[in-house]
Amino acid sequence: MVEKIIDLIGISSNSIEDAVQIALARAGVTISGIHRAQVKDISAVVENNRVAQWRVAIQASFVVKDQLHE
Q: Using CA atoms, how far apart are residues 61 and 38, in angstroms rounded to an integer?
A: 9
Residue 59, strand partner residues? 7, 38
Torsion of CA 47, 14, 44, 62, to 10 degrees: -150
pLDDT tens-digit series, residues 10-69: 999 999 999 999 999 999 999 999 999 999 999 999 999 999 999 999 999 999 887 755
Q: Which domains does the chain have, with CATH numbers?
A: 3-63 (3.30.1660.10)
pLDDT of the residue at 52? 98
Report pTM: 0.84
